[in-house]
């Protein structure tokens, strides 16, 4: 049964999956509570633009999406916080604009191929050693930053204005959250897929919120749901030969529906 | 020496005048009501005091330091508007909420020290919320949430407490208890308090200083002076009559 781990690609998928599930649950907690749940979706479509640029310019399929997502993330936060534009409108503009540009670039390259399909829906065989290394290092880095700043980040998430009045640098903390999310989304697209990464960031915390616990317990519950969803999804993906992203998201969705009934 | 000094303060947004030529001083221990009609610039004035907005012209000094250079933010506690309408799904316990008042002065990767935990307990005791410290905010009434937010503002041991319409969204009994609590903080804890209110009746008994703003500073003085028909009429731009009721020998 457990010969699944005899495959190198599955070992990599599990390492990357667990690391990213931890990170997406933590980042997702702040993002959802800030009413910013569209951010991961916008960033994932922006990362697709990075894939498109990578296909046309034959540059790195790992670094180009990260680079494009981070630049766009900074622009989104600048427009939202400094220019006071509506966040849902900005996200919608970036999402559709990036998707349109990505489609044009993909048309200009070899068009739709199997590799692109794996970016859209996730593939357990797609994770390379290099991606695994980057993901693990980045996860450790991001966890240190998030745990270190969690109190300030929580205050900003609850009430930006009062946090700023108390002396917290709200703009930099928001920027940090968006940049960490951009890199996480770009790294997650191989295993979860561009079209489904938003769900992995939003579902675990939405499920945890149904249990009406305090913040720390809610985040721990979200992390547990996230890790279990990813591990179960990878098993299902392997044995049923279906897209890993879809399997992971369906498990996470099942937890949400189950929790909804438990907490009625 | 005043602890807050405003001199010739203007604030404009895209050539629209929000506040014009505002000057006043606030001293240690003052209990100040900030009155004015909707859109008169009260909240803007509070945000300028807190450094959330930058004045177009004029000067703000806090503890004799220019607002732009003022970094001791823990000396000012702030309770924002609509606390009672707070997002009820936010998963935060009372204790967690109050502890956020120390977030700004905590360095990264640091846990709460014993002294800080005592500060949190003391702030919760002052606000009489210790008995439900493990409850989530979603389980509290509007009045209880107000006290939690005040405890959060008090935990950094401020010398000035600023509240933006603290009585919005709560019933009249809760309002009355709440203003008694503010009076206690002012009289017993020697806290300088500035609060925005629309409730003229509230200011009559307790506050020692009233500021009335409608783009300009319409009035600065005692509550007795403010409650003359002329001041109220000038502030709200309509004819007003003040009626005093007396119940069992007390004004109410």
Whether B249 shows a pLDDT value over 50: the answer reads: no
Candidates A195, A213, A198; CA nearest to A116 is A195
Residues B2 and B26: their CA atoms lie apart, in Å, by 5
Question: What is the reported pTM?
Answer: 0.87
Give me the CATH number covering residue B22: 3.40.50.300
Chain A residues in contact with B102 (beta carbon < 8 A): 151
Closest CA in chain A for residue B100:
A155
Q: How many domains does chain B have?
A: 1
For chain B, give the percent of residues with pLDDT over 70. Answer: 85
Name the DSSP class of A83: S
Domains, in order of start, for chain A? 2-262 (1.10.3470.10)
Cβ-contact B51, B70 below 8 angstroms: yes
Interface check for B38 against chain A (CB to CB < 8 A): the answer is: no
Label residue B241 by pLDDT band (50, 70, 90): low
Among B residues 140-159, those touching chain A with beta carbons less than 8 Å apart: 156
Q: List the one residue out of A196, A181, A258, A195 whose CA is nearest residue A230.
A: A196
- Chain B residues whose beta carbon lies within 8 Å of the beta carbon of residue A208: 91
Residue A115 has pLDDT above 50, yes or no: yes
Check residue B47 and give its pLDDT. 94
Q: Which residues of chain A approach chain B closer than 8 Å at the C-beta? A: 33, 147-149, 151-152, 154-155, 158-159, 161-168, 208-209, 212-218
pLDDT at A67: 94
Q: Of the ranges A95-104, B66-75, B141-150, which is most confident?
A: A95-104
Query: C-alpha angle B98/B108/B160, rounded to 5°?
Result: 40
Distance CA(B31)–CA(B163), nearest Å, equals 12
Share of chain A above pLDDT 90, in %: 61
Quickly state the pLDDT bin for B231 (edges 50, 70, 90): low
pLDDT tens-digit readout, B183-195: 888 988 889 999 9
pLDDT at B86: 66
Structural tokens at position B146: 């107000």
Cβ atoms of B160 and B75 closer than 8 Å: yes
Domain boundaries, position B20: 4-251
Condensed to tens digits (0 to 9), the pLDDT of residues B70-91 reads 888 889 999 988 765 567 778 9
B91/A contact by beta carbon, under 8 A: yes
User: Which residue in the block uniquely carries the two structure tokens 């879809």?
Assistant: A246
Query: Is the confidence at residue A90, as pLDDT, over 90?
Result: yes
CB B77 within 8 A of CB A145: no
SS3 content of chain B, % helix, strand, coil (to 5): 40, 25, 35
Does B247 have pLDDT greater than 70? no
The residue-averaged pLDDT of B35-56 equals 91
Interface membership of B97 toward A (CB under 8 Å)? yes
Residue of B nearest to A150 (CA): B108
Beta strand B4-13 pairing with B76-79: unpaired
From residue A259, alpha-carbon distances to A210, A229, A253, A262 in Å are 7, 14, 10, 5
- How far apart, in whole angstroms, are the C-alpha atoms of residue B248 and residue B245? 10
The interface predicted TM-score of the complex, written ipTM, equals: 0.85
Mean pLDDT value of segment A203-230: 95
pLDDT in tens, B152-173: 999 999 999 999 887 776 677 7
Give me the mean pLDDT over the B221-232 stretch. Answer: 71
- Give the closest residue to A64 by CA, choosing from A14, A3, A119, A12: A119
């Amino acid at each position: 049964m457990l010969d699944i781990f005899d495959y190198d690609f599955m070992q990599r998928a599990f390492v990357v999956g667990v690391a990213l599930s931890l990170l997406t649950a933590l980042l997702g907690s702040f993002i959802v509570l800030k009413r910013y749940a569209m951010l991961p979706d916008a960033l994932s479509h922006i990362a697709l633009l990075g894939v498109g640029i990578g296909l046309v310019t034959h540059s790195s399929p790992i670094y180009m999406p990260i680079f494009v997502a981070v630049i766009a993330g900074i622009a989104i936060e600048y427009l939202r916080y400094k220019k006071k534009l509506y966040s849902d409108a900005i996200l919608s503009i970036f999402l559709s604009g990036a998707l349109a540009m990505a489609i044009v670039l993909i048309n200009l390259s070899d068009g739709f191929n199997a590799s692109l399909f794996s970016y859209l829906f996730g593939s357990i065989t797609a994770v390379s050693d290099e991606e695994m290394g980057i993901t693990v290092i980045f996860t450790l880095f991001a966890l240190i930053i998030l745990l270190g700043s969690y109190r300030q980040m929580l205050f900003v998430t609850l009430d930006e204005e009062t946090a700023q009045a108390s002396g917290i640098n709200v703009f930099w903390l928001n920027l940090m959250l968006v940049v960490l999310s951009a890199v996480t989304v770009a790294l997650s697209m191989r295993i979860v897929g561009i079209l489904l990464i938003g769900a992995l960031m939003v579902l675990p915390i939405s499920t945890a919120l149904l249990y009406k616990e305090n913040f720390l317990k809610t985040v721990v519950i979200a992390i547990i749901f996230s890790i279990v969803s990813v591990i179960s999804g990878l098993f299902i993906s392997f044995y049923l030969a279906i897209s890993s992203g879809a399997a992971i998201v369906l498990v996470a969705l099942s937890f949400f529906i189950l929790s909804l009934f438990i907490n009625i | 020496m005043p602890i807050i000094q405003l001199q010739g303060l203007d604030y404009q947004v895209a050539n629209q005048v929000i506040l014009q030529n505002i000057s006043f001083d606030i001293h240690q221990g003052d209990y100040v009501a900030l009155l004015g009609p909707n859109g008169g610039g009260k909240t803007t004035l509070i945000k300028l005091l807190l450094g959330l907005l930058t004045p177009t012209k004029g000067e703000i000094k806090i503890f004799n330091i220019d607002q732009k250079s003022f970094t001791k933010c823990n000396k000012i506690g702030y309770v924002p508007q609509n606390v009672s309408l707070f997002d009820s799904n936010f998963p935060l316990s009372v204790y967690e909420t109050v502890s956020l008042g120390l977030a700004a002065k905590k360095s990264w990767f640091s846990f709460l020290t014993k002294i800080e935990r005592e500060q949190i307990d003391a702030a919760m005791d002052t606000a009489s919320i210790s008995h439900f410290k493990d409850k989530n905010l979603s389980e509290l009434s509007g009045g209880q949430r107000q006290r939690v937010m005040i405890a959060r503002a008090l935990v950094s041991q401020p010398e000035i407490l600023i509240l933006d319409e603290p009585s919005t969204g709560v019933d009249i009994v809760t309002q009355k208890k709440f203003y008694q609590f503010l009076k206690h903080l002012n009289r017993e804890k020697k806290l300088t308090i500035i609060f925005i209110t629309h409730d003229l009746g509230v200011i009559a008994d307790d506050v020692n200083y009233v500021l009335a703003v409608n783009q300009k500073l319409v009035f600065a003085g005692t509550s007795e002076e403010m409650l003359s028909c002329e001041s109220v009429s000038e502030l709200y731009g309509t004819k007003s009559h003040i009626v005093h009721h007396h119940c069992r020998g007390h004004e109410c």
